[in-house]
Chains A and B, each alone.
Chain A
Amino acid sequence: DAGVIQSPRHEVTEMGQEVTLRCKPISGHNSLFWYRQTMMRGLELLIYFNNNVPIDDSGMPEDRFSAKMPNASFSTLKIQPSEPRDSAVYFCASSLGQFEPQHFGDGTRLSIL
């Protein structure tokens, strides 16, 4: 049973470059979440989708961040332009619905130089 799949696992890029993170949720799950984890702030919700529709993007830090979910099996989180303070581990999670637990991928470790 495949879990949430994220790619790439690691990304190192220079400031100003565009970064695209990808996520494939668990098949049949209709809610998808993007989180960011840092030592200082812990896990923070950036945005979540229900049935491919963005529901709450209040956690997206700035206009430089955008997320899409073109279909039920794929989502992207894009940062353009990237800055060193965006360095963190980005997690994608999915769940069956509102009252169901969330299952996480193994994250993308992003370093912006």
Chain B
Amino acid sequence: QKEVEQDPGPLSVPEGAIVSLNCTYSNSAFQYFMWYRQYSRKGPELLMYTYSSGNKEDGRFTAQVDKSSKYISLFIRDSQPSDSATYLCAMSAGNNRLAFGKGNQVVVIP
């Protein structure tokens, strides 16, 4: 079993819809959870950074962490064409090693 599972299937949504992404993980030592956004031919860009369980909101983005279920989510409200990118989840036990999901390609259709 991989440490981090993220369904890589492309996701197409109409502009204005809510985008819902998620990852599951197996390592209970993970305490730091991140979402990165990666545009084509660019490096991953940190989007959200949370510690332990709970919710964090930043503008149209909400990150949720459920450590009891080993499940994290990212929600994008009022999606825009500029949100079209690949979204990668990442997590760490605080030891500098990040475990990444494979990424979800999101396409927001105008």
User: Are these two chains actual partners, yes or no?
Assistant: yes
A interface residues with partner B (beta carbon < 8 Å): 4, 31, 33, 42-43, 45, 48, 50, 55-56, 91, 93, 95, 98-99, 101-107, 109
The range of chain B's interface size is: 20 to 34
Given contacts A4-B43, A104-B43, A107-B43, contact A42 B94 (CB under 8 A): no
Contact A101 B34 (CB under 8 A): yes
Contact A101 B96 (CB under 8 A): no
Contact A45 B43 (CB under 8 A): no
In the A-B complex, the 8 residue pairs with the smallest Cβ-Cβ separation, listed nearest first, are A104-B43, A42-B102, A43-B100, A106-B43, A104-B44, A101-B49, A101-B46, A105-B43
Chain A minimum-CB-distance residue to B92: A99
Number of A-B residue pairs at CB separation under 8 A: 45
Chain B minimum-CB-distance residue to A42: B102
- For B1-41 the 0/1 string (1 means CB < 8 A from A) is 00000000000000000000000000000001010100001
Partner of A45, one of B42, B94, B98: B98
Let me know if B95 is at the binding interface, CB within 8 A: yes
Partner of A42, one of B42, B95, B103: B103
Question: Which of A43, A45, A55, A105 has most B Cβ within 10 Å?
Answer: A43
Contact B95 A45 (CB under 8 A): no
Given contacts A42-B102, A42-B103, A43-B88, contact A50 B43 (CB under 8 A): no
Chain A minimum-CB-distance residue to B42: A106
Let me know if B57 is at the binding interface, CB within 8 A: no
Partner of A91, one of B43, B49, B103: B43
Give the chain B neighbours of A109 by CB distance below 8 A: 41
Given contacts A43-B88, A101-B34, A101-B49, contact A50 B96 (CB under 8 A): yes
Contact A98 B95 (CB under 8 A): yes
Contact A42 B43 (CB under 8 A): no
Give the chain B neighbours of A102 by CB distance below 8 A: 46, 98
Give the chain B neighbours of A103 by CB distance below 8 A: 46
